[in-house]
Structure 1
Amino acid sequence: MNEKSGTAPEGHSDRDSTASFSKSYRPDEIHAVAAEDAPTSPEHGIPLNERPSIPRASEDLRRTASNVLAQVASRITTRTWREPPPPPDGGLKAWTQVAMGFFILFSTWGYANSFGAYQTYYEQTLPESPSTISWIGGIQIFLTLTVGVVSGRLLDAGYFIPTFIVGMITQVIGIFLMSISTKYWQLFLTQGVLSGIGAGIYFTPSISLVNTYFDKRRGLAVGLATTGNSVGGIVYPLIVRALIPKLGFAWTTRVIGFLTLGLLAFALAFMRPRLPPRKSGPIIDLGAFKDLNYTGFLTSCFFVYWANYYTFYYIGSYGVKALNLPYSSASILVVIINGVGLPFRILVPMIADRIGNLNVIVPVSILWAIVSFTWLAVDDIAGYYAFTVVYGIFAASFQCLFPSTVSRITLRLDTIGTRLGMAFGVSAVASLTGPPIGGAIQTASGGGFQAPQIWAATVTLVAALLFTTLRIHMGGLNLKSKC
């Protein structure tokens, strides 16, 4: 400023003067100059801008409290957060997670899918109808899937290890309590409810964790992990078949309990999450159902699982009642339907990684529906074994693609736990109600299998048509479109 006239020199504006002032002094010097120029109190000679202001302090406190509450609320409601790092898509640590995923699938779905061996045994030892007995296996699968709606979000939030420990302990306790159960309600609570809750707590976070390590080879990785489903579906029924006549039901179940405990403890030692915790975001992302691809896929899967578990649970029972097979031979059918799909759980995902998951699911589901109708034509033991083999192949081919397909249509890797948990929850309703509905249809038709066979095959056909519609919606009629 010009000291004589008090005006700015020609060619300079007040804005230029302000800029010059801010460049000439550091922030602390500006504060000192402002303090020197500030008006003072006539009574105390203290600059007025340094005098304490109670209203201003109160306002600052109010703003601080408001900011804290806003941050807490954002933990629950916000839907935007930093993008996670890309997956390594390989490496020792990534493939170690796949190996541990094998033991997880072995201990959850291998055990659950072997219920057909228990179904046949319980029908011979419990005074209950087949439909009533199947509720034990139905509630076990239902809880294994629905608990994942909550536990899947715990992976995203960074609580994988404590979640896994709680689930492992709960499932093993359920199995050991099952060993001392002799009545239907006791088996329902231990084998059905408690074991199902325990498996549900750790299953969804574990399979979601495997997905986060892969991108281009995600289908292969998850497919390799799901081979544990087939191997467990072989081992558990063989244990039941071989040991119950020798050791009895109680000690056979304890052997299964110790086996499950050892496998899960081994998996716990090596499984570790890759992504940083995502503390914010809802537990259940209802907005995901606005995604037509996601909703369409889950609707199609509902019909698939509705029929699938009826066949898995009653495969042995049909052999005993319709073909007069002894229990030992009928339980082998449970082993076959679970184990025959083992190589396809590797081959099918490799193809899906190259051409797209839905491009594989559509033909698999159509052929699966055709095979389901052929059950009506089976009237001898050789034909039944052939049906069991082919049905098991198509069931495995679809099941191994379910988790990776949900991941493919999920845009962010750090929401996989939440979305996969929701997907399992929808499928759980079908898995819970399918076997009892089939059993009730069987009872209503005088104990014959024809009516429930037609129901199961028709439901599978509906699923195939829905998958085809979804494929056309996503990729059009272009067969080269990868989706």
Structure 2
Amino acid sequence: MSAAQADDAIDLRSIASAQDRPSAEHEPPIDLDPVDDGSNGDLPPIDGGRAAWRLLWSAFIFEALLWGRLICILAILVSSFTHSLATIILTQGVMYGVGFVIFYYPILSMVNDYWVARRGLAYGILCSASGVAGVVMPFSLEAMLHRFGAPTTLRAASGLLAVTTGPFLLFLKPRRPGSSMSGAAETSAVPLKPDYAFLQSPLFWIYSTSNILQGLGFFFPALYLPSYSTSLSLSSRTGALLLALMSVAQVLGQSTFGYLSDQKQSTSASMLTMLSLVSTVVAGAAMLSWGAMNTLPALIAFALVYGFFGTGYTALWGRMGTSVTKDSTSAFMAFGLFNFGKGVGNVLAGPVGGGLLGEQIGSGGSQGYGRGQYGAIILFAGSCMLASGGCVGMGLVRGWEKVRQVTE
């Protein structure tokens, strides 16, 4: 081990052991959560061990099956009895979203407590859980809807989610005694009041702008790839297959990008930005190529490439948070704001896509770019992806030492 590596290891142990001792009044904030590494035997170890993995895989199950708990289950159940669009929006939209926030963010807080130096990997695994669900859900829901109809399918789904997620509640336990599901701990040395100085950081706003642009283009393949395949006279099951393949690639992509964000060289903002740049540029190029694809093998290749690189961006949010601020509470807040920015893109994708659908790009009609009706959507989504990469690339060209000076 080199001297530099030994110093890094000593620094990491000193950071991890700072959790349970009072901090000095003028001690500068640190880049990682100040938690006890468990070497004294009082607490479970961080970044590994049975307790850490048990919590992570329990959170993985909840991510895969249910983004939220009681409110989410009720939202699905109630929506099965309604026949109006407004009620569906209220239940599956508003209620489900509120349930997600109430239940999911405390789980993330527990994950943060157990996973410090390997947090990017943990977030990558956690994010990829929705990809695992995406492999199974399109086929199972399609079969149930076809056989039983929407009301019965929704009621069965709510009951199944309640039964399958219930046992994993037993494993969602805070690492530190005295902590609660809300993440507030009387014995915690982590400051509960965030430091809002990161909002003045140019790096935060560069990441935020890039994130919103990425979110604007991100959801279109999942929305329109099935109908695009149908326009090629492929079966309806082909669309579900393409989404399933995209989900498989998502699992690999998010786990890989999360792992890479934890590596020693990724502690520099420039390396983290390079990962963001690769994710958005490759995804944008694949998106623009999508409009020229007219065969199933080409669509399969697109689903795999886009699923791997396009979804990898989300797995970088955890390290983006720790790169814009050294305060652990503020880093968690930054993660939430990145999530909000992606949600803005999710909300706008529907109206934007509806407005662009059917706009012809060039000549050729249904044989032209994007099968005619999808051309404008594909160009818009691909351009958003490339603009997202250009945003972080601009900061990279400027030099991150200047961009980060507010938070240093």
User: TM-score under structure 2 normalisation?
Assistant: 0.74
Q: Equivalent of 2:277, from 362, 370, 380?
A: 362
Matches of residues 426-445 of structure 1 in structure 2 within 5 Å? 426-443=341-358
> In the alignment, which residue of structure 2 is the partner of 1:194?
95
Within the alignment, does 1:235 sit opposite 2:136 as a pair?
yes
Q: CA deviation at 1:176?
A: 0.9
Distance 1:380 1:418, change over 3 A: same
Q: CA deviation at 1:100?
A: 1.7
Unaligned runs of 5+ in 1: 1-79, 110-166, 478-483
Within the alignment, does 1:212 sit opposite 2:113 as a pair?
yes
Within the alignment, does 1:386 sit opposite 2:335 as a pair?
no
Within the alignment, does 1:348 sit opposite 2:348 as a pair?
no
Query: How far apart in 2 are the matches of 1:407 and 1:108?
Result: 27
Higher RCO structure, 1 or 2 (CA under 8 Å, sep 6+) = 1
Matches of residues 262-411 of structure 1 in structure 2 within 5 Å? 262-274=163-175, 277=184, 287-320=197-230, 322-354=231-263, 355-356=265-266, 357-411=272-326
> In the alignment, which residue of structure 1 is the partner of 2:327?
412
Q: Root-mean-square deviation (CA), in Å? A: 2.9
2:287 counterpart SS class? helix
Q: Equivalent of 2:154, from 209, 232, 253?
A: 253
Distance 1:405 1:213, change over 3 A: farther
1:212 counterpart SS class? helix
For residues 181-231 of structure 1, the C-alpha deviation after alignment (integer angstroms, 9 at most, x for no partner) is: 334333222222222221222223322431332222111122222221111
Q: CA deviation at 1:452?
A: 1.1
Q: Equivalent of 1:449, from 360, 371, 374?
A: 374
Query: How far apart in 2 are the matches of 1:318 and 1:229?
Result: 23
Q: CA deviation at 1:360?
A: 2.0
Matches of residues 160-199 of structure 1 in structure 2 within 5 Å? 167-199=68-100
For residues 135-154 of structure 1, the C-alpha deviation after alignment (integer angstroms, 9 at most, x for no partner) is: xxxxxxxxxxxxxxxxxxxx
> In the alignment, which residue of structure 2 is the partner of 1:244?
145
1:340 counterpart SS class? helix
Q: CA deviation at 1:305?
A: 0.9
Q: Percent identity?
A: 21
Contact 1:293 1:474 in 2 (8 A): no
Matches of residues 5-20 of structure 1 in structure 2 within 5 Å? none
Query: How far apart in 2 are the matches of 1:98 and 1:409?
Result: 25
2:291 counterpart SS class? helix
Distance 1:436 1:205, change over 3 A: farther
Mean Cα displacement is larger for which, 391-400 or 295-304? 391-400
Query: How far apart in 2 are the matches of 1:415 and 1:261?
Result: 33
Unaligned runs of 5+ in 2: 1-27, 38-45, 267-271, 362-371, 403-408
Contact 1:297 1:470 in 2 (8 A): no
Distance 1:419 1:292, change over 3 A: same
Within the alignment, does 1:101 sit opposite 2:55 as a pair?
no
Q: CA deviation at 1:287?
A: 4.2
Q: CA deviation at 1:368?
A: 1.4
> Higher Cα Rg: structure 1 or 2?
1
Contact 2:193 2:329 in 1 (8 A): no
Contact 1:239 1:252 in 2 (8 A): no
Distance 1:273 1:297, change over 3 A: farther
For residues 305-325 of structure 1, the C-alpha deviation after alignment (integer angstroms, 9 at most, x for no partner) is: 1100122222212222x2233
Is the helix fraction higher in 1 or 2? 1
Query: How far apart in 2 are the matches of 1:206 and 1:473?
Result: 37
